[in-house]
Amino acid sequence: MKINSLKLKKLLAVSALISITALSLVFLGCPPSSTDGGHTPEDTASSSPENFTPALTTTAGEVKLTWDAPTDRGYFAGAAATAISYKVYSSSSDISDVTGLTPVYTGADLSFTFSGTAGESYYFAITANNGGADSPLSKTGQFELVLQLHLDPNGGSGGVATTNYDSVVTTAIPAPTGITKTGSTLAAWNTAADSSGTYYNLQGAITLTADLTLYAVWSTNDLAYTLINADAQYSVTGGTVPDTATYIEVPGYWQGKKVTQVGNDAFKNYYDLMDIKLPSTITSIGNNAFDSCHKLALSSLPNGITSIGQRAFSGCTELVLTSLPDGITSISERAFSSTSKLALTSLPDGITSIGKSAFYGCSKLALSSLPDGITSIGEYAFQRCYEIALSNLPDGITSIGKWAFAECSKLTLTSLPSGLKRLEERVFYYSQEINFASLPNGLEYIGGWAFDTTKSSFTTLPGTVKTLANQALSDTVMTSMTIPASVTSIGTSLFFDNEVITEVTLEGEYGTLNNIFGTGDTGKLATVNITNDTSPATLNGDVFPSTVTSIKVPASAVTDYQNAWGTTLGAGVTISAYSP
């Protein structure tokens, strides 16, 4: 067969090109394909350790070095590496090559504590090893093994002042330079920016075992400080701070002693005061301390406070406290009266007494219960607290003052404490959702208007009640009432404006009956029973309303009653024998 010479030349050229290309691929490092189509990876070093960081410890001359594992662990023995070990190096100069250096640490941990000489400088470097070659270096800059004391202006002006110490030292805090705050005086230092840490006097002694930052504690200029408690502590008052001030800062330390008290009348009538910084050292707030600070909008008080004086926050209409310090055991007279935005939902468990008008007019007070330990509640204590929603009172209460719960429209009480002896005048007046179905045994006195405009429906009184004051049972929804023989004093207009009562029973003996039922709408009262008194009492005034048609008395005394009362009562009233 004859082959065209031109075609043969082209065929030989293509074959030569393929051979050259294959040979080139070999020289370029491309391994030939295996029979299964895969290849074996070459060993490669990992990437460098990450976040290599030095930090002083609490021991002089020590530095703790920490780092994170490399992101790329590389390949070893033909597979992705898993185990990584580390070598840490130290030097007095910058480390660019570890040749000739001996590692100060070799291992798999991610931290190492280096011991050097306090006051000297060190450079550190680290490599990672996956079993093959070392990774590139990670390193630090110059790191000095010193203790540093930083003085932070903490809201003032000027930079942080830093002092270096070569080793653990007890020293006086250096006087700061360039740290100021407009309108304020530097009072002390504290280890926390919010003054919740340890206080230090301005140039007091301090022992440094590690780096430390002290934060400036400021006092508003012209506050007055008075020594108290055997000159061991200070009380603060407004001094000559203008009563137009809107913000006041009280330090926890002054001249080396704690400030523990806001004094009597401290900021009374500071009408423009909107905020005050009170330190955690405060344990008591004096009488009238913030009285009539109408713009004061505090949302919390230091938790160490155990005493709040009379009228301390009276008239602070912007006060928005939602809780009180746990250590408080009593609420003083008018302490929070007329603080219309006070939004407490509970009181501290340790409270045992609530003073006169303590929460008067606190229209946003939203208490749903009172602490079990309370024994007394003063006059007007919760009057006009429209949001308190108590359904019961602690059983240990033995005294509730007049008007204490008047005009509390969300009270839903149905019972009273068992030890209660007296219900004073208007104690539950106009608290329209109250419905007492009974009263406790032991109760001796019921004051005027005590249940007025409530839903109280009880029909008997305990045999311990001795006195019913004027209008004691007025404007209730009881349909009948039995007054026991224990009652020796009955006031006038007893059932004033009770529109549903139909029958009243008197079990006692009375020489004189005054205007018991009196004026007002008792339009359904038809029957009065006198069960035991065989001697007709002297009637003084309009004792019985015109609606009464039947008076029943002991059978043996019917004639005596008819003779004594018949003319006064008129023909429309029948006097007949009582039968249980």
Q: Are 202 and 251 in contact (CB under 8 A)?
A: no
Q: Tokens in use for 379? A: 């006059």
pLDDT at res. 21: 43
Q: What is the mean pLDDT of residues 71-85?
A: 94
**Residue 14 pLDDT > 60, yes or no?**
no
pLDDT at res. 25: 39
Q: Choose among 272, 231, 256, 110: nearest CA to 172.
A: 256
SS3 333: coil
pLDDT at res. 522: 67
- Angle (CA) 303-305-307 rounded to 5° is 150
Amino acid (one-letter) located at 179: I
d(CA 252, CA 78): 67
Name the more confident of 514 and 320: 320
Across 213-232, b (16+ Cβ under 10 Å) vs e yields: bbbbbbbbeebebeebeeee
Overall CATH class of domain 420-580: alpha beta
**Residue 378 pLDDT > 90, yes or no?**
yes
Q: Choose among 25, 75, 22, 68: nearest CA to 45.
A: 75
Count of CB atoms within 10 A of residue 371's CB?
16
Q: How confident is the model at residue 512 (pLDDT cuts 50, 70, 90)?
A: very high
Comparing 6-20, 292-306, 459-473, the range with the smallest average pLDDT is: 6-20
**Residue 9 pLDDT > 90, yes or no?**
no
Q: How confident is the model at residue 518 (pLDDT cuts 50, 70, 90)?
A: low
Q: Tokens in use for 259? A: 């400030």
d(CA 29, CA 36): 19
d(CA 237, CA 30): 87
**Residue 20 pLDDT > 50, yes or no?**
no
d(CA 344, CA 366): 6
Q: Looking at the domain that runs over 50-144, which CATH code has it been given?
A: 2.60.40.10
**Residue 232 pLDDT > 90, yes or no?**
yes
Give me the torsion for CA of 31, 34, 39, 42, rounded to 10°: -50
Q: How confident is the model at residue 506 (pLDDT cuts 50, 70, 90)?
A: very high
Q: What is the mean pLDDT of residues 114-127?
A: 90
Phi, psi of 437 (to 5 degrees): -85, -20
Count of CB atoms within 10 A of residue 193's CB?
14
Q: How confident is the model at residue 168 (pLDDT cuts 50, 70, 90)?
A: confident
Residue 197 DSSP one-character state: S
Q: Are 526 and 547 in contact (CB under 8 A)?
A: yes
Amino acid (one-letter) located at 365: L
Q: Tokens in use for 149? A: 């004391």
Q: How confident is the model at residue 521 (pLDDT cuts 50, 70, 90)?
A: low
**Residue 54 pLDDT > 80, yes or no?**
yes
pLDDT at res. 57: 76
pLDDT at res. 18: 43
Amino acid (one-letter) located at 456: S
pLDDT at res. 7: 46
Q: What is the mean pLDDT of residues 39-62?
A: 87
In the chain, % of residues over pLDDT 70:
92
Amino acid (one-letter) located at 372: D
Judging by beta carbons within 10 Å of its beta carbon (0-12, 13-18, 19+), is residue 44 exposed, middle or buried? middle
d(CA 468, CA 40): 106
pTM of the model: 0.77
Paired sense of beta strands 512-513 and 147-152, if any = unpaired
d(CA 230, CA 291): 28
pLDDT at res. 556: 97
Show the beta-strand stretches assigned E in 155-311. 161-165, 169-172, 184-190, 199-200, 205-208, 212-220, 224-228, 233-237, 247-249, 253-254, 257-262, 275-277, 284-285, 307-308
Q: How confident is the model at residue 22 (pLDDT cuts 50, 70, 90)?
A: very low
Q: What is the mean pLDDT of residues 79-102?
A: 95
